[in-house]
Amino acid sequence: MSANDRRCVLVVDDDPGVRDVIRSMLEASGYSVLLAENGKEAMRLLKSERADLILTDLVMPEQEGIETIKALRREYPALKVIAMSGAFGGDYLRIAAYLGAHATLAKPIQMETLLRLVEETLARDG
């Protein structure tokens, strides 16, 4: 994959450690990565940057992931979304899927599973 055709993933999580670990793994796999600490920041970033996929936590301050997914579906309906959460026994993940997340992932995250989901989600049409 050349630098010009690298897929870009926007990682949205309020935990800087989680963002850094995911960024390192994705960059090592050839992806370009953007970072945001909440949904509001992610939506602002998307006005000036291109992303092929959003990987968002669901429980965050400012604008949580559920509200972010709703906003993404309104403003960027074709943008692919993976939702991740360790809260509420999976209920938030089910809601995220219902609202249009292409895939969901329970925390704690297995990096191999995350990378596989990113690859599969980006490979899907629509």
pLDDT attached to residue 59? 86
Class of 3-123 in CATH: alpha beta
What sign results for the dihedral spanned by CA atoms 115, 15, 43, 3? Answer: negative
Worst-scoring range by mean pLDDT, 5-9, 51-55, 85-89, 101-105?
85-89
Cα 59 from Cα 91, distance rounded (Å) = 12
pTM score of the predicted model: 0.91
Q: What is the signed CA dihedral for 68, 75, 22, 86, rounded to 10 degrees? A: 30
pLDDT attached to residue 15? 93
* Percent of residues, the chain, with pLDDT higher than 70: 94
Q: Is the pLDDT of residue 85 over 70?
A: yes
Mean pLDDT of 6-16: 95
pLDDT attached to residue 61? 81
Q: Is the pLDDT of residue 2 over 50?
A: no
pLDDT attached to residue 63? 77
